Amino acid sequence: MAAPLRLISRLAVVTGGGSGIGRAVCQRFAAEGASVVVADVSEGSANQTLESLPREHRGQEHMAVGVDVSSRESVERMVTTIQRQYFQPPSVCVTAAGITQDEFLLKMEEDDFDRVIQVNLKGTFLLTQAVSKALVASGSSKGSIITVGSIVGKVGNIGQVNYTASKAGVEGLTRTAAKELSRFGIRCNCVLPGFINTPMTHKVPEKVISKITSIIPLGRMGEPAEVADVCAFLASDDSRYITGISVEVTGGLFIG
């Protein structure tokens, strides 16, 4: 089925665009007509995504940039680079960069706690702030920021005290940003994926995956494209009256 064309003339930046969910978001946005900035700490993977993007619409121009979302300097440099290239800030931003460093609470090193918070939570803060500042300064009348939390931020997950804390934080941050930025026409929403088939979950032992799959009502893990579909809806005007929400993309996992 051909994708609808809801993002023609939009400029979108997607962090974590080099892999998994971020890559699928870049592909979906490009298929809907957006110009896409693929941003990732791994420039090689960002370039691989870039090469896979369709350019079928007039004015559609994609680029790849290296960024470390946990560094203010790096994030600000990226936003400046984008504005130089396109003469406007991105009006759509998806913060899909994320990491795990799993360990039981009783054994977790402080550095592993800090690193996950820095990338997942502080990275989301830095992106949201830099993009919304640029949008407000440009006088743009609308924007859509889509953050990536996780269903485990709501329910907890053994071995992920750092990750679940970071993702719960992302949800709170998104709701606050939605309240503060709505007067500038900027909507902020969060997607909460469940267990999605990406390099991140390829690290999870097969035994654990089959146990989880057995409790997912839809009976399988999700695909990155299924999260990207929801992000495209949240980026587009189809969701113009929606802000501050979290959308679970979990196949029904943990619905209660």
Ligand X SMILES: NC(=O)c1ccc[n+]([C@@H]2O[C@H](COP(=O)([O-])OP(=O)(O)OC[C@H]3O[C@@H](n4cnc5c(N)ncnc54)[C@H](O)[C@@H]3O)[C@@H](O)[C@H]2O)c1
Residue 216 touching ligand X (CB under 6 A): no
66 beta partners: 40
Residue 41 touching ligand X (CB under 6 A): yes
H or E element, residue 39: strand 35-40
Residue 248 touching ligand X (CB under 6 A): no
Residue 90 touching ligand X (CB under 6 A): no
Nearer to ligand X (CB atom), residue 4 or residue 44: 44
Nearer to ligand X (CB atom), residue 64 or residue 134: 64
Residue 190 touching ligand X (CB under 6 A): no
H or E element, residue 52: helix 43-52
The candidate with the shortest Cα–Cα distance to 39, out of 88, 122, 98, is: 98
Residue 22 touching ligand X (CB under 6 A): yes
- Cα dist. 22→11, 96, 101, 138, 147 in Å? 15, 5, 19, 26, 11
Q: Is 241 a catalytic residue?
A: no
Buried b (16+ CB within 10 A) or exposed e, 165-174: bbbbbbbebb
Q: Tell me the closest approach of the beta carbon of residue 189 to ligand X, in angstroms.
A: 15
Nearer to ligand X (CB atom), residue 138 or residue 197: 197
168 beta partners: none
Identified catalytic residue from 125, 163, 195, 233? 163
| Sheet arrangement for strand 35-40 | 63-66, 35-40, 11-15, 92-95, 143-148, 186-193, 246-249
Q: Out of 12, 18, 36, 235, name the contact with ligand X by CB under 6 A.
A: 18
Choices 37-45, 129-137, 172-180, 231-239 (CB under 6 A): range interacting with ligand X: 37-45
Nearer to ligand X (CB atom), residue 120 or residue 243: 120
The candidate with the shortest Cα–Cα distance to 144, out of 102, 186, 179, 111, is: 186
Cα angle vertex 168, ends 165, 173, to 5°?
120
Residue 189 touching ligand X (CB under 6 A): no
Residue 160 touching ligand X (CB under 6 A): no
Separation between Cα atoms, residue 118 and residue 139, nearest integer Å: 30
Residue 40 touching ligand X (CB under 6 A): yes
Q: Tell me the closest approach of the beta carbon of residue 178 to ligand X, in angstroms.
A: 19
Residue 199 touching ligand X (CB under 6 A): yes
Binding site for ligand X (CB under 6 A): 15-16, 18-22, 40-42, 45, 67-70, 96-99, 119, 123, 148, 150, 193, 195-196, 198-201
